[in-house]
Amino acid sequence: MQQTLKKPTAATSAPGPESQTRPAGPEGRGLRAFLGQVWAIAGKDIRAELRGREVASATWVFALLVLVVFNFAFDLEREEMGPAGPGMLWVAIVLAGMLGLSHVFTKEREQSCLEGLLLCPVDRSVIYFGKLAGALIFTLALEVAVLPVFAVFTSLPVFTPGPLLALLLGTVGFVAVGTLFAAIAANTKTREVLLPVLLLPVAAPVVVSAVAVTGLSFDGEPWSELVPWLGILAAFDAIYLVLSPWLFDQVVHELGPE
């Protein structure tokens, strides 16, 4: 109820003070305006979530459930946590993160806010990066909330540079493709069901690499062992951060008022 009133105003006020300085080029003022517009869209999503707290608590509890179900499924002893831990952590994060991602565009669609968002006098890539920033902050917050519980359950050293860097790089790539595919899935007949089917195969390199970095770092391997994996994660991030804004433009081309 509260959201139906709030969100369109947040969307239309998004360009606000920056509307005079449309993103003209890569010079300082244009970039500042661009970031301001991105932040206006991301901030709108974060405010809506902070007021409603619909998705955050549900995805967090879901992630904990995945950890608990793993324990039932494999009945792990303490010494088995080392090999199983990275996989448990990443399955929990990927599944819970996907649950959150599927809301990024369905809530816009259900309250027909997408049209308003697309009517904003901003570049379409601003909408993509705004949505990406919102989803990224949301997913990182979810991870921050899951990690302490995971550490308690498994007694594994998660708060070390290796796993944290893998989480950061892995999440950026996963959310970059996830935001694009969420826009696609939200506008099909099957909606939420389609997002995991589309996203999981494409995100396979992220899962493989992030699990590898986390596992090697739990085993106390030196950085030289982690670098190739971090390289794959960084390459995945770079490729899809460049490709997705253009592809997103092609997706909303079909949805928005021309």
Decide whether 75 or 254 has the Cβ nearer to another protein: 254
Do 178 and 135 touch, CB atoms closer than 8 A? yes
Decide whether 6 or 191 has the Cβ nearer to another protein: 191
- Which stretches of the chain bind another protein, using CB under 8 A? 177, 180-181, 184, 187-190, 194, 197-198, 200-202, 204-205, 208-209, 212, 216, 228-229, 232, 235-236, 239-240, 243, 247, 250-251, 253-255
Decide whether 21 or 187 has the Cβ nearer to another protein: 187
- Taking the C-alpha atoms of residue 58 and residue 42, their distance in angstroms, rounded to an integer, is 20
DSSP code per residue over 206-242: HHHHHHHHHHHHHTT--HHHHHHHHHHHHHHHHHHHH
Please report how close the Cβ of residue 36 comes to another protein at its closest, in angstroms: 28
11 Cβ neighbours under 8 A, 6+ residues apart: 41, 44, 113, 116, 117, 120
- Taking the C-alpha atoms of residue 19 and residue 150, their distance in angstroms, rounded to an integer, is 45
Which among 89, 83, 3 is positioned nearest to 45, based on CA atoms? 3
Decide whether 24 or 200 has the Cβ nearer to another protein: 200
What's the sign of the alpha-carbon dihedral 194, 197, 203, 209? Answer: positive
Please report how close the Cβ of residue 214 comes to another protein at its closest, in angstroms: 13
- Three-state DSSP state, 54: coil
- Taking the C-alpha atoms of residue 170 and residue 236, their distance in angstroms, rounded to an integer, is 9
Do 143 and 165 touch, CB atoms closer than 8 A? no
What is the amino acid identity at position 150?
Answer: F
Decide whether 10 or 89 has the Cβ nearer to another protein: 89
Decide whether 201 or 257 has the Cβ nearer to another protein: 201
Please report how close the Cβ of residue 28 comes to another protein at its closest, in angstroms: 32
Please report how close the Cβ of residue 144 comes to another protein at its closest, in angstroms: 26
Please report how close the Cβ of residue 143 comes to another protein at its closest, in angstroms: 21
Please report how close the Cβ of residue 217 comes to another protein at its closest, in angstroms: 13
